Amino acid sequence: MSTKWQADAPSNIALIKYMGKKDAALNIPTNASLSLTLPHLRSFVELEVNEEPYDLWQPLTYLDYAPLKLSEPQQQRFIEHLQLIKEHLSFNGNFIVRSGNNFPSAAGLASSASSFAALTQCACLAISDLTDKEPLNIYQKAQLSQRGSGSSCRSFMYPWTLWTPENIQEVHFPITDLSHLSVLIDTSEKKISSTQAQQMVKTSPHFKERPKRAEQRLAQLLHVLNDQNWQEAYQIVKEEFLDMHQLFHTSKKPFQYINEQSVEIIDLIETYWTESKDGPLITMDAGPNVHLIFRSDQNSIKHKLQKELNSRGYDVI
């Protein structure tokens, strides 16, 4: 009987954002979101049976990067999710849980999505092994993961995931093999986490109409991606992340992630589009880093922009 299990899961980047919760205990989103799965950015989790009567978190040490550092509250939240899974599967044992990412943890990309998805995968695997119970299917695992961190439920499907308040589903578009670059601007820990941002946006005067705007943009984006209208997709995706950041800037206690460097990159991409009539999609999460998405036939554009960003002193992964 094995006493150690491993699993990993990809990160994802939302083009229509999950921002606001209908039910904070269950992480039911206010509006539907659409994300692209990022198979190259992964979290790894290892679980080992702990004979002591408690669960414990440790960093994984076999990855190439410096071991992950989680603050006490972050460790607590991770362990609580493990406990929720144990309860859900009526399991009483305890584990040492180790986790890490295949990207530098200082990159500011260590969103909870990939790590909660990997923990859910690993815990379900370990517990079904230890109890001989029927394993959960992908959809049940995604739903369980959602309770730990909402956006993690989108990391179970590929290449795109549509997550509505009622459902989580895999989506395909005619444009395939997209690639992604993150422009690293600030790699320090965020002062306001995405979970805190989810709470604070509710106090913005623009929040009331937000679900309507998000749903409208989602319908337009699904349409233009099906039509392979990349330029329209660029406009919609840009409007969408700026809308989310506008909520941050107008909440009762305003907060801001977009900084001078983010603006420099947003402007660089806009100029590129104006001059070339083509370019990458651009989006930002709850942080200052900028995400670029390229079609598979845009390799030369990608290399050109990567060179330009490097020459301006930005790390790109």
Q: Does 108 bind ligand DP6 (CB under 6 A)?
A: no
Q: Does 149 bind ligand DP6 (CB under 6 A)?
A: yes
Residue 45, SS3 per DSSP: strand
Query: Which of 10, 95, 107, 5 has the alpha carbon at shortest distance from 54?
Result: 95
What binding mask, one character per residue, do residues 245-284 give for ligand DP6 by CB under 6 A, x or -? ----------------------------------------
Please calculate the CA angle 130-133-139 and round it to the nearest 5 degrees: 115
> Taking the complex as a whole, how short is the minimal distance between the CB of residue 179 and ligand DP6, in angstroms?
19
Q: Toward ligand DP6, which CB reaches closer, 45 or 305? A: 45
Q: Which of 198, 204, 220, 298 binds ligand DP6 (CB under 6 A)?
A: 198
Please calculate the CA angle 198-36-274 and round it to the nearest 5 degrees: 95
CA Rg, the chain, in Å? 20
Q: Does 112 bind ligand DP6 (CB under 6 A)?
A: yes
Task: Provide the 10 A C-beta neighbour count for residue 51.
Answer: 8
Task: Provide the 10 A C-beta neighbour count for residue 146.
Answer: 23
Please calculate the CA angle 192-256-25 and round it to the nearest 5 degrees: 40
Q: Does 286 bind ligand DP6 (CB under 6 A)?
A: yes
Q: Does 285 bind ligand DP6 (CB under 6 A)?
A: yes
For residue 289, the 8-state DSSP code is -
Lookup result for tokens 């900084």: 259
**The one segment of 46-54, 148-156, 232-240, 250-258 that binds ligand DP6 by CB under 6 A:** 148-156
Please calculate the CA angle 202-109-112 and round it to the nearest 5 degrees: 60
Q: Are 294 and 301 in contact (CB under 8 A)?
A: yes
Q: Which of 31, 182, 194, 204 binds ligand DP6 (CB under 6 A)?
A: 194
- Binding-site size for ligand DP6 (CB under 6 A) equals 14
| 21-50 residues near ligand DP6, rule: CB under 6 A | 27, 33
Q: Toward ligand DP6, which CB reaches closer, 81 or 302? A: 81
Q: Distance (Å, rounded) from C-alpha 241 to C-alpha 202?
A: 16
Q: Which of 17, 98, 245, 302 binds ligand DP6 (CB under 6 A)?
A: 17
Q: Give the pairing type, strands 33-50 and 28-29.
A: unpaired
**The one segment of 181-189, 190-198, 209-217, 307-315 that binds ligand DP6 by CB under 6 A:** 190-198
Cα 168 from chain centroid (whole Å): 15
Q: Does 240 bind ligand DP6 (CB under 6 A)?
A: no
Query: Which of 292, 285, 182 has the alpha carbon at shortest distance from 234?
Result: 292
Q: Toward ligand DP6, which CB reaches closer, 23 or 227? A: 23
> Taking the complex as a whole, how short is the minimal distance between the CB of residue 54 and ligand DP6, in angstroms?
24
Q: Which of 18, 78, 160, 257 binds ligand DP6 (CB under 6 A)?
A: 18
Contact footprint for ligand DP6 (CB under 6 A): 14, 17-18, 27, 33, 112, 149-151, 194-195, 198, 285-286
